[in-house]
C-alpha cells in the first residue's frame, strides 16, 4: 500500500467514525510512535471506579464532575491504529450528534478588564492563586480534515499525550497535553507539578522570574502535603525546564512508592484533581471563584483523561492545550495561573502563545 493511499484510508475511517458519532478515542502516549484506538460498542455506561477496575478502557473526566458526567469508554475493540479500526467502525451503531453552540469567547479588552479587577481583589477574595482561562474560536475545514490535524499534532509534539476523543454525550475533543496527572505503574506512581510559562527559547537557555518559580512551588507544596497526608513515600526531582511546543514550563517529578493499593491510589487521584496548576489555591475557593468569573463552561478542559488497563495500571493526563470540535469551528481553551504579581497584558499574551500549540497545525 502506498503511503498516500494508507493516509487516505485512515482519514476516511476517522471521518466515518465521526459521522456515525460512535464512542471512540485515538491516543498516542508521550515518546511513543504508535497511535492506539479504543471503540466502545455501548453508549450508556455509568462511570464507577469499582466497575472499571480490572477492565481495559479510557477515562474522560470533566473539570467539574458536579456539572458534567465523567465518561468511561470500555474497550469493546482496541488496538494499534489503523489495524481493524475500519471494521470496528463499520460494525458500530450510528448515534445522533447533539447540536451544541460554541462556547462564549471573550475579547482582549474584556479579558484584561476582568483580570485587572480580579488581581486587585485577589487577597480580599482569600485567594493565593487561581487559573483564569478563555476560549478562542478558530475556523477549520470540517470533520473530514480531523485525521490530518490529529496526525500533524502527533508529528509535532512527540513528548505530549495527543488524543482525539468522541462520544455522543461530550462531543468531539482533541489535544496535545504536556501534563501528567497520575501514572500508575506496576509498583510505583508518578505525578508532576507543572507551572510557570515562558516562550520557548531557540537557544534552549532559560531563566525563571521569581513569580513563575513561586507559582510552580505552590503546586509542588500542595502535592507534597497531600502525599504526606496520605502516608506515601516519595522522591522529588527538579524543578527543571520542559519545552511544550511554543512554550516552556517548570516541572518537578514525584516518584511515589505504591503497592498498587487501588483505594489509596484513588484517594490520591481525587485529591490531585484539579491541581493548583489548573484551579488554584486554596482549592475550593479557587474553584468557586473560577465558576463565578469565567464566561464559559470549562467542560472537559482542565479535566483529565487517559487509558487504564486490566492489570490496574493507568496513565492519566491533565486536559490542557485542547479544543472542542464543532462541525464548522474549533473552540481552543487556554488559561494561565494568576497571582497578585500577574500582569493582565502578559497573561493575555501567554494564552495566545498557548493557543499556538494547536493553531500551528491549522494552517
Ligand atoms: C492552564 C494552563 O496551563 C497550566 C499548566 C502549565 C502552566 C501554567 C501557567 O504557567 O499558568 C498553567 O498552570 C493551560 O495551558 O491552559
**Domain tally, the chain:** 1
Mean pLDDT for 167-192 is 97
Could you list the beta-strand ranges (E) of the chain. Answer: 24-28, 36-39, 57-61, 71-74, 77-80, 129-139, 161-167, 171-177, 180-184, 188-199, 234-244, 247-257, 280-281, 304-308, 314-318, 322-325, 329-338
Of 258, 285, 263, 260, the closest CA to residue 274 belongs to 285
Instruction: Specify the residue with its C-alpha closest to ligand 1, atom 8.
Output: 195
The finding on whether 253 has its CB within 6 A of some atom of ligand 1 is no
Q: Give the domain CATH number at 101.
A: 3.60.120.10
The model's pLDDT over 69-114, given as tens digits with 9 standing for 90+, comes to: 999 999 999 999 999 999 999 999 999 999 899 999 999 999 999 9
3-state secondary structure of 61: strand
Q: Give the model's pLDDT for residue 3.
A: 87
Mean pLDDT for 235-254 is 96
Q: Give the model's pLDDT for residue 46.
A: 85
The model's pLDDT over 103-127, given as tens digits with 9 standing for 90+, comes to: 999 999 999 999 999 999 999 999 9
At 61, is the pLDDT very low, low, confident or very high (cuts 50, 70, 90)? Answer: very high
- 8-24 burial code (b ≥16 CB/10 A, e <16): eebbebbbbbbebbbbb
Residue 98: all three cell numbers together:
447533539
At 50, is the pLDDT very low, low, confident or very high (cuts 50, 70, 90)? Answer: confident
CA of 317 to the centre of ligand 1 (A): 13
Q: Which residue has the cell 527538579?
A: 238
Please give the mean pLDDT across all residues of the chain: 95
The model's pLDDT over 200-232, given as tens digits with 9 standing for 90+, comes to: 999 989 999 998 999 999 999 999 999 999 999
Instruction: Give the separation between CA 175 and CA 159, rounded to whole angstroms.
Output: 13
147 backbone dihedrals φ, ψ, rounded to 5°? -60, -45
CA of 348 to the centre of ligand 1 (A): 12
pLDDT of 260 > 80? The answer is no
pLDDT of 8 > 70? The answer is yes
Do residues 136 and 355 touch, judged by C-beta distance below 8 A? Answer: yes
ipTM score of complex: 0.98
Q: Give the model's pLDDT for residue 204.
A: 87
pLDDT of 1 > 80? The answer is no
- Which atom from ligand 1 is nearest to the alpha carbon of 335? 16
Q: Give the model's pLDDT for residue 259.
A: 82
Q: Please choose from 134, 177, 180, 195 the residue to mutate so as to test ligand 1's pocket, defined by most ligand atoms within 8 A of CB.
A: 195
Q: Give the model's pLDDT for residue 276.
A: 92
CA of 302 to the centre of ligand 1 (A): 9
Mean pLDDT for 22-36 is 97
Mean pLDDT for 329-346 is 96
Structural domain for 13, as ranges: 3-359
The finding on whether 280 has its CB within 6 A of some atom of ligand 1 is no
3-state secondary structure of 269: helix
Q: Please choose from 131, 157, 210 the residue to mutate so as to test ligand 1's pocket, defined by most ligand atoms within 8 A of CB.
A: 131
Q: Give the model's pLDDT for residue 363.
A: 66
Mean pLDDT for 324-332 is 95
CA of 4 to the centre of ligand 1 (A): 37
Instruction: Give the separation between CA 149 and CA 59, rounded to whole angstroms.
Output: 22
Do residues 354 and 336 touch, judged by C-beta distance below 8 A? Answer: yes
Q: Give the model's pLDDT for residue 189.
A: 98
Amino acid at each position: 500500500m502506498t503511503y498516500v493511499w494508507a493516509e487516505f484510508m485512515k482519514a476516511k475511517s476517522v471521518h466515518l467514525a465521526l459521522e456515525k458519532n460512535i464512542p471512540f478515542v485515538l491516543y498516542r502516549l508521550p515518546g511513543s510512535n504508535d497511535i492506539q484506538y479504543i471503540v466502545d460498542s455501548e453508549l450508556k455506561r455509568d462511570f464507577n471506579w469499582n466497575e472499571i477496575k480490572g477492565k481495559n478502557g479510557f477515562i474522560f473526566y470533566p473539570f467539574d464532575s458536579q456539572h458534567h458526567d465523567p465518561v468511561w469508554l470500555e474497550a469493546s475493540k482496541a488496538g494499534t491504529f489503523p489495524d481493524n479500526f475500519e471494521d470496528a467502525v463499520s460494525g458500530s451503531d450510528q448515534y445522533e450528534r447533539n447540536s451544541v453552540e460554541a462556547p462564549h469567547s471573550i475579547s482582549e479588552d474584556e479579558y484584561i478588564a476582568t483580570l485587572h479587577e480580579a488581581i486587585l481583589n485577589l487577597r480580599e477574595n482569600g485567594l493565593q492563586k487561581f487559573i483564569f482561562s478563555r476560549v478562542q474560536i478558530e475556523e477549520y475545514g470540517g470533520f473530514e480534515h480531523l485525521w490530518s490535524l490529529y496526525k500533524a499534532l502527533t508529528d509535532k509534539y512527540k513528548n505530549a499525550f495527543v488524543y482525539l476523543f468522541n462520544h455522543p454525550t461530550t462531543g468531539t475533543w482533541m489535544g496535545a497535553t504536556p501534563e501528567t496527572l497520575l501514572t500508575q505503574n506496576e509498583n510505583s506512581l508518578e505525578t508532576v507539578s507543572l507551572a510557570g510559562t515562558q516562550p520557548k527559547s531557540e537557544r534552549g537557555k532559560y531563566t525563571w522570574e521569581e513569580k513563575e518559580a513561586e507559582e510552580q512551588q505552590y503546586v509542588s507544596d500542595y502535592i507534597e502535603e497531600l502525599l504526606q497526608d496520605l502516608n506515601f513515600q516519595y522522591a522529588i526531582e527538579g524543578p527543571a525546564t520542559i519545552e511544550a511546543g511554543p512554550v516552556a514550563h517548570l516541572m518537578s517529578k514525584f516518584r511515589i512508592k505504591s503497592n498498587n493499593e487501588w483505594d489509596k491510589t484513588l484517594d490520591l487521584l481525587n485529591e490531585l484533581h484539579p491541581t493548583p496548576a489548573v484551579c488554584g489555591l486554596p482549592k475550593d475557593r479557587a474553584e468557586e471563584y473560577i465558576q463565578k468569573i469565567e464566561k464559559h463552561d470549562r467542560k472537559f478542559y482542565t479535566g483529565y483523561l487517559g487509558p487504564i488497563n486490566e492489570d490496574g495500571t493507568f496513565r492519566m493526563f491533565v486536559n490542557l492545550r485542547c479544543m472542542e470540535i464543532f462541525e464548522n469551528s474549533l473552540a481552543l481553551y487556554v488559561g494561565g495561573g494568576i497571582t497578585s504579581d500577574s500582569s493582565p497584558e502578559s497573561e493575555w499574551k501567554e494564552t495566545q502563545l498557548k493557543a499556538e500549540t494547536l493553531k500551528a497545525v491549522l494552517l
